[in-house]
Structure 1
Amino acid sequence: MNSTKQDDYLKDWQQREEIAEAMLPLIGRLYRDRNVVISVYGRTLINPSTIDILKAHRFARQILENELSVRDSYPLLKAISELDLAPSRIDIGKLTVRYQAQAAGEPVEQFVRRELTSVNTGKGSMRQEPQDIVLYGFGRIGRLLARLLIEKTGGGDKLRLRAAVVRKGSADDLIKRASLLRRDSVHGFFRGAITVDEQENAIVANGNMIRIIYADAPEEVDYTQYGIKDAIVIDNTGKWRDRDGLGRHLKAKGTSAVILTAPGKGDIPNIVYGVNNELISPLEKIFSAASCTTNAIVPVLKAVNDRFGIVHGHVETCHSYTNDQNLIDNYHKNNRRGRSAPLNMVITETGAAKAVAKALPELTGKLTGNAIRVPTPNVSLAILNLTLTEGTSVEELNRYLRDISLNSGLQQQIDYTNSPEVVSSDFVGSRHAGIVDSLATIVDGNRCVLYVWYDNEFGYSAQVVRIVEKMAGLELPALPA
């Protein structure tokens, strides 16, 4: 009996693996040829492996309380691939569940055609030419942005990473920067092939030629001499945070707009994608993507405030150490940050609580905040201690946040987990702004405590890229509605 069961398990796995292998070329062609992005309950499948597809289906178990099988989704994917689709995002997990619940024997092809009528309009490009992107700085965030932008090249008519501007470090600067893009101690190897073109002083990553330009100031660069025009510059140095400083980028030939990967000062719009996108306008040329912590907590705070109301609260973050801290005790201009980051928990300040008001004015003056830097290299945790306008329960609050993570405009920002075993390293590489840890939720009448994990590097970088896509007019319609 045991032997038979073993054989059954292996046979079932091999069959599902074979189906997932058949899905790979369909997903690839839809993305490259038509800019159609396939996902499974928010898990995007771009350049996936067979295991990626199976894991995405397995993830659906915690939402559906039943595993979603590739046996169910493959027929729908095949029907999707036969349509003449415009650029879009299609969730085959949701589409499959809807088919099972509503189709009542309707042929798959007919159901899919009806559900996707709005984008079954023929292949089209969202832009006449790709949007040129320049990274000003090539550090932790810069290199992760490069990975994401390269991944999103698609058919080549969307975002195109053209250059990274840095200060020259050594004679073998190009080789070292290519190596840092290829290998990452936290996020692993680059998924693809990287070579260097020394004649062009460029890194070639999955066919994308990224020129490495050396400059000491933004206005020094003439991008047009490299064939770059109307570029969106992503300043990930954090050196300039006000309008005058960031405006120096706009004095360079070949630029059209600037986005800062840090909180902006003064009247610069601080954008948390998914919450205040209406501030992105062609009339504005300088934007901030706020901070990683602000991006993690604002979507959850908005969701809670919209449903239950927030009277006041305190935000405490356990934040992984950053390059601003010292490896060993040494002089630092800020209090406590001079002490060894890998050896200590370090109390420090955070502007995230005040920054919330820039994205959610209705919470102005209602939040306080502090931060503890902890000895981990990546992934942080925000603890939201809130007093609500009305009382609730753990079950109601969690159910509401789970639904928001699945079926709302905040689906890309809020993720949800109900695993009793997760720890910080499980969220390395998460593309969501924050992940609600439902089993840690505490509710006592109108008081609640929410625990929100976030990959303060990769999740934040994904949010930055979403802003860039919005600025470039490349937001894809999401289906099923």
Structure 2
Amino acid sequence: MTVNEDSFTNWKNREEIAESMIPIIGKLHRERDVTVLLHSRSLVNKSVVSILKTHRFARQMPGGELSVTETLPFLEALTALDLGPSQIDLGMLAAEYKTDDRGLSVAEFTAEAVSGATGENKIERCKPRDVVLYGFGRIGRLVARLLIEKAGSGNGLRLRAIVVRGGGEADLVKRASLLRRDSIHGQFQGTITVDEATSTIIANGNAIKVIYANDPSEIDYTAYGINDAILIDNTGKWRDREGLSTHLRPGIDKVVLTAPGKGDVPNIVHGVNHDTIKPDERILSCASCTTNAIVPPLKAMDDEYGVLRGHVETVHSFTNDQNLLDNYHKADRRGRSAPLNMVITETGAASAVAKALPDLKAPITGSSIRVPVPDVSIAILSLRLGRETTREEVLDYLREVSLHSPLKRQIDFTTAPDAVSMDFVGSRHASIVDAGATKVDGDNAILYLWYDNEFGYSCQVIRVVQHVSGVEYPTYPAAI
């Protein structure tokens, strides 16, 4: 057999195995609320090719690419267990099994590794928690897609309503069309229909009421059967506690802002300080996309090396706040044409670090340049460290953080030699370390951090909402 024939035969064999994994993954998710991961990447609702590509990601780990032939036995072992709601990482199971020298079978090792989610230890499945989106712009629609995607088990978060201002004729159809098609993020994965008589968008079976209102005070959410809901404000119109409190209407329990909060509103970066949220806190912020991009790697570097001071320069894609053509804008420079210019502007990300990392005493400064790309930005984080190190040590450390630490859902890592911004559209991580661009000289380090400022940030928002709603299930095996 030639090399080409052997390679093709191997591919077809792996395709067949990946196909056999899909119904197992789906059944675990629907019937037991178990999300199957591979090195923190969900395999739920993924295609054959997506499953194979996710396995190939593991080539960044020592030992090379992970094969579906290695992970299938662990997946099959899960089906024999009395599992409760959880997230189970096949990649970590396979990696830890390789280093285990006790001679256990795959089934025995798996049962031990996920014992916290089985039998008497398993937690109860949560009742569906209502979610309302106030505003339906770029972030609102992506958050909606994520909520619909995660509704497969019938538990957890359930998108019940969207609040918008009336837009005139065919408003509902136009908003559904924007949810269905996105110039950057592609087609919605599923079906969408519109019931104009009841002002409802039905997406993958989820009936989402569209409520027209000009102000929060006009709405009684209980009139729509919505109770104890989490409201996600995507407008940014209100950013302090007083303004956001106007959302606390009948039917709304908590308010989450998708912009930096002001005053005493907690700014939360999931993975870093989400565990500081008080149970009785009703109003909180998910900070900004740039804050979410820089805080996790900044924490990782401070934990290992100490950070004495830093500066972040964000090269940021243009946003809807800017003008397409030169026109009046209340802010300096943002009135100039976004698709034609690089625009120097301010960023509050550096000052927001103090809210998310209060123990970090290092001064952090920041500035920003908006550039003519529609999505994906890069943060250049320049740090003075507490000790000298090498480029190789820093890269090995950050790769390990991205694979095995509690920050693995926030920090990704790429060694691609020709990576550019469009490669990271749709990334679910808060930021991606570009290994090839990283610079280290003694106690000075410069990290280049890509981030999908729309989708990656929306994933962080969902993680915060899952946490405060109680449907953020534990992951097994636990991160080291």
How high is the TM-score relative to the length of structure 2?
0.97
The corresponding residue for 2:332 is 335
Contact (CA 8 Å) 1:131, 1:158: kept in 2 or not?
yes
Separation in 1 of the partners of 2:301 and 2:340? 36
Q: Does 1:308 align with 2:305?
A: yes
The corresponding residue for 1:344 is 341
Opposite residue 186 of structure 1, the aligned amino acid is I
The corresponding residue for 2:89 is 91
In the TM superposition, what is the alpha-carbon distance from 1:256 to its structure 2 partner?
0.6
Contact (CA 8 Å) 1:310, 1:389: kept in 2 or not?
yes
The corresponding residue for 2:275 is 278
The corresponding residue for 1:475 is 472
Contact (CA 8 Å) 2:308, 2:362: kept in 1 or not?
no
In the TM superposition, what is the alpha-carbon distance from 1:471 to its structure 2 partner?
0.6
Opposite residue 203 of structure 1, the aligned amino acid is I
The corresponding residue for 1:141 is 139
**SS of the residue aligned with 2:279?**
coil
The corresponding residue for 1:13 is 11
Separation in 1 of the partners of 2:165 and 2:429? 32
Q: Does 1:466 align with 2:474?
A: no
Separation in 1 of the partners of 2:59 and 2:329? 48
In the TM superposition, what is the alpha-carbon distance from 1:275 to its structure 2 partner?
0.9
Cα-to-partner distance string for 1:105-152 (whole Å, 9 max, x where unaligned): 53222221121111122776432x211000000000000000111111
Contact (CA 8 Å) 1:321, 1:373: kept in 2 or not?
yes
Contact (CA 8 Å) 1:398, 1:438: kept in 2 or not?
yes
Cα-to-partner distance string for 1:397-434 (whole Å, 9 max, x where unaligned): 11111111112111111111111111111111111111
Contact (CA 8 Å) 1:394, 1:443: kept in 2 or not?
yes
Separation in 1 of the partners of 2:199 and 2:79? 40
Opposite residue 256 of structure 1, the aligned amino acid is D
Separation in 2 of the partners of 1:46 and 1:380? 27
Contact (CA 8 Å) 1:103, 1:111: kept in 2 or not?
no
Separation in 1 of the partners of 2:355 and 2:105? 49
Separation in 2 of the partners of 1:221 and 1:392? 57
1:215-364 matches, cutoff 5 A: 215-250=213-248, 252-364=249-361
Q: Does 1:419 align with 2:416?
A: yes
The corresponding residue for 1:442 is 439
The corresponding residue for 1:453 is 450
The corresponding residue for 1:108 is 106
Separation in 2 of the partners of 1:112 and 1:52? 24
Separation in 2 of the partners of 1:65 and 1:173? 54
Contact (CA 8 Å) 2:308, 2:363: kept in 1 or not?
yes
Contact (CA 8 Å) 2:33, 2:125: kept in 1 or not?
no
1:22-33 matches, cutoff 5 A: 22-33=20-31
**SS of the residue aligned with 2:337?**
coil
After TM superposition, the structure 1 stretch with the greater mean CA deviation from structure 2, 147-156 or 158-167, is 147-156
The corresponding residue for 2:65 is 67
1:166-245 matches, cutoff 5 A: 166-245=164-243
The corresponding residue for 1:370 is 367
The corresponding residue for 2:125 is 126
Opposite residue 415 of structure 1, the aligned amino acid is D
Separation in 1 of the partners of 2:53 and 2:440? 32
Contact (CA 8 Å) 2:391, 2:440: kept in 1 or not?
yes
Q: Does 1:431 align with 2:428?
A: yes
Separation in 2 of the partners of 1:65 and 1:78? 23
In the TM superposition, what is the alpha-carbon distance from 1:236 to its structure 2 partner?
0.4
In the TM superposition, what is the alpha-carbon distance from 1:99 to its structure 2 partner?
2.0
Separation in 1 of the partners of 2:189 and 2:79? 25
Identity of aligned residues (%): 60
The corresponding residue for 2:154 is 156
Separation in 2 of the partners of 1:387 and 1:177? 47
1:34-73 matches, cutoff 5 A: 34-73=32-71
Contact (CA 8 Å) 1:299, 1:410: kept in 2 or not?
yes
Opposite residue 355 of structure 1, the aligned amino acid is A
In the TM superposition, what is the alpha-carbon distance from 1:334 to its structure 2 partner?
1.0
**SS of the residue aligned with 1:195?**
strand
**SS of the residue aligned with 2:139?**
helix
Separation in 2 of the partners of 1:313 and 1:111? 44
In the TM superposition, what is the alpha-carbon distance from 1:57 to its structure 2 partner?
0.3
Contact (CA 8 Å) 1:46, 1:151: kept in 2 or not?
no
Separation in 1 of the partners of 2:318 and 2:175? 22
Task: Give RMSD over aligned pairs.
Answer: 1.3
In the TM superposition, what is the alpha-carbon distance from 1:68 to its structure 2 partner?
0.6
**SS of the residue aligned with 2:119?**
coil
Cα-to-partner distance string for 1:218-240 (whole Å, 9 max, x where unaligned): 12111111100011100000000
Separation in 1 of the partners of 2:445 and 2:172? 51
Opposite residue 306 of structure 2, the aligned amino acid is G
Separation in 2 of the partners of 1:37 and 1:104? 28
After TM superposition, the structure 1 stretch with the greater mean CA deviation from structure 2, 16-25 or 357-366, is 357-366
Separation in 1 of the partners of 2:37 and 2:82? 18
In the TM superposition, what is the alpha-carbon distance from 1:365 to its structure 2 partner?
6.0
Contact (CA 8 Å) 1:405, 1:411: kept in 2 or not?
yes
Contact (CA 8 Å) 2:117, 2:123: kept in 1 or not?
no
**SS of the residue aligned with 1:390?**
strand
Cα-to-partner distance string for 1:191-219 (whole Å, 9 max, x where unaligned): 11111122221111111111110000012
Separation in 2 of the partners of 1:103 and 1:235? 51
Separation in 1 of the partners of 2:101 and 2:89? 17
Opposite residue 470 of structure 1, the aligned amino acid is H
Q: Flag structure 1 segments of 5+ consecutive residues without an equivalent.
A: none
Contact (CA 8 Å) 1:294, 1:352: kept in 2 or not?
yes
After TM superposition, the structure 1 stretch with the greater mean CA deviation from structure 2, 20-29 or 78-87, is 78-87
**SS of the residue aligned with 1:389?**
strand
Aligned length: 477
**Cα distance change, pair 376–70 in 1 and its aligned pair in 2 (3 A):** same
